[in-house]
């Protein structure tokens, strides 16, 4: 099984559209959406959820008011200002460090598991999809990405999949590092803008650190031919193979609104470019 991860320096670069295109074009595939802060691969794949569950990513302090003598020790030791003047604990500020549990003389506080998100396994016509959603305000996205990747494993084994197509998080933070683990290749998707160039440099630094073969795709390449050429020059200097340029094409959004991938649209220039990118990747990664 070969695991291919799609990354971009920021959101909205077309990373998910390209991952969905690969899901359509590659055969015998398992899919994973590791963009747990804003999962949207499912929008393109019309999934039917077959299994789901809570994700417990951290712990939080719970106070039993009937045991509390209002001594104030918990408020003194909490470095996160999670304890109010009347000794209520704010679940959004509590980091679950446990200092108040140790400090409380009456054992009024306990640490309890906190549900931080939900995970889903679904069927799509292009293969099974593992995904998850982090609840608003939760910060354990790296752990939830690891959960999605763990959920992907039995799906891969049950169908002896040849491919795992993984849509990563934008940026270079913790969920990206978590999604990189175990992948065979990374496809970086960027746009020809100055910020796109800067983002590419940063994300390439992360990927190179893990010594994973990586490839570049320039999306909406016709927005600036100059900058697209500069991106290709940068890629050449860094030894980063360019799989292709995808033109701006309204059909990408139109097909998205229909719940389809643009590669299913024979008339679309972007669809044709994505099919070329797929072929180039297959050839380059042999
Ligand atoms: S567990 Fe830590 S962060 Fe939460 S209320 Fe207690 S001391 Fe504060
Ligand atoms: S340390 Fe325990 S007893 Fe004291 S105020 Fe906090 S919860 Fe109440």
- pLDDT digit string, tens, across residues 55-65: 998 899 999 99
Q: Which CATH class is domain 59-115?
A: alpha beta
Residue 172's pLDDT band (boundaries 50, 70, 90)?
A: confident
State how far the alpha carbon of 238 is from the alpha carbons of 3, 160, 201, in Å: 23, 35, 10
Share of the chain above pLDDT 70, in %: 100
Q: Where are the domains of the chain?
A: 2-46+124-284, 59-115
Cβ(72) to ligand 2 under 6 A? yes
DSSP secondary structure string for all residues of 214-225: EEEEEETGGG-H
Residue nearest to atom 3 of ligand 2 (CA): 68
Q: Pocket of ligand 2, candidates 66, 103, 104, 110: which has the most ligand atoms within 8 Å of its Cβ, to mutate? A: 104
Alpha-carbon gap, residue 120 to 129, rounded angstroms: 8
Q: For ligand 1, what atom is nearest to the CA of residue 99?
A: 7
pLDDT of residue 258: 83
In residues, how long is the chain? 286
Alpha-carbon gap, residue 227 to 247, rounded angstroms: 14
- pLDDT digit string, tens, across residues 144-155: 999 999 999 999
For residues 240 and 215, the answer to whether their CB atoms sit within 8 Å is: yes
Chain mean pLDDT for the chain: 91
pLDDT of residue 55: 92
Q: For ligand 2, what atom is nearest to the CA of residue 64?
A: 7
Cβ(76) to ligand 2 under 6 A? no
Q: For ligand 1, what atom is nearest to the CA of residue 81?
A: 8
- pLDDT digit string, tens, across residues 203-225: 898 889 989 999 999 999 999 99
- Ligand 1 centre from 55 Cα, in Å? 21
For residues 83 and 75, the answer to whether their CB atoms sit within 8 Å is: yes
Residue 165 has pLDDT above 80, yes or no: yes
Q: What's the whole-number mean pLDDT along residues 22-32?
A: 92
Residue 45 has pLDDT above 80, yes or no: no
Q: Which residues are bridge partners to 118 per DSSP?
A: 54, 133
The set of residues, in sequence order, having a beta carbon less than 8 Å from that of 136 and lying 6+ positions away, is none
Q: Quick one: fold of 2-46+124-284? A: Rossmann fold (3.40.50)
- Ligand 1 centre from 266 Cα, in Å? 57
pLDDT of residue 6: 94
What is the H or E stretch that residue 131 is in? strand 129-134
What DSSP state is assigned to residue 262? Answer: G
- pLDDT digit string, tens, across residues 175-197: 888 888 889 999 999 999 998 88
Residue 227's pLDDT band (boundaries 50, 70, 90)?
A: very high
- pLDDT digit string, tens, across residues 61-111: 999 999 999 999 999 999 999 999 999 999 989 999 999 999 999 999 999
Residue nearest to atom 7 of ligand 1 (CA): 78
């Amino acid at each position: 099984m070969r695991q291919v991860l799609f990354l971009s320096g920021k959101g909205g670069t077309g990373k998910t559209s390209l991952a969905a295109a690969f899901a359509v074009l590659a055969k015998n595939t398992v899919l994973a959406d590791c963009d747990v802060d804003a999962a949207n691969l499912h929008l393109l794949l019309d999934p039917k959820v077959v299994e789901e569950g809570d994700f417990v990513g951290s712990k939080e302090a719970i106070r039993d008011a009937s045991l509390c003598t209002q001594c104030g020790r918990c408020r003194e030791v909490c470095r996160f200002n999670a304890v109010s003047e009347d000794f209520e604990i704010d679940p959004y500020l509590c980091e679950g460090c446990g200092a108040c549990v140790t400090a409380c003389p009456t054992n009024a506080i306990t640490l309890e598991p906190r549900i931080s998100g939900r995970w889903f396994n679904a069927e799509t016509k292009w293969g099974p999809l593992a995904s998850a959603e982090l609840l608003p305000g939760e910060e354990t996205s790296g752990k939830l990405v690891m959960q999605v990747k763990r959920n992907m494993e039995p799906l891969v084994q049950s169908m002896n999949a040849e491919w795992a197509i993984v849509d990563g998080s934008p940026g270079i933070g913790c969920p990206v590092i978590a999604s990189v683990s175990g992948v065979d290749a990374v496809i970086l998707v960027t746009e020809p803008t100055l910020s796109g160039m800067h983002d590419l440099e940063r994300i390439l630094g992360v990927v190179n650190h893990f010594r994973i073969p990586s490839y570049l795709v320039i999306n909406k390449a016709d927005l600036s031919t100059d900058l697209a050429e500069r991106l290709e020059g940068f890629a050449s200097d860094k030894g980063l193979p360019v799989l292709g340029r995808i033109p701006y094409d309204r059909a990408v959004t139109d097909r998205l609104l229909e719940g389809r991938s643009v590669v299913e649209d024979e008339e679309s220039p972007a669809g044709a470019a994505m099919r070329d990118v797929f072929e180039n990747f297959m050839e380059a990664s042999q």
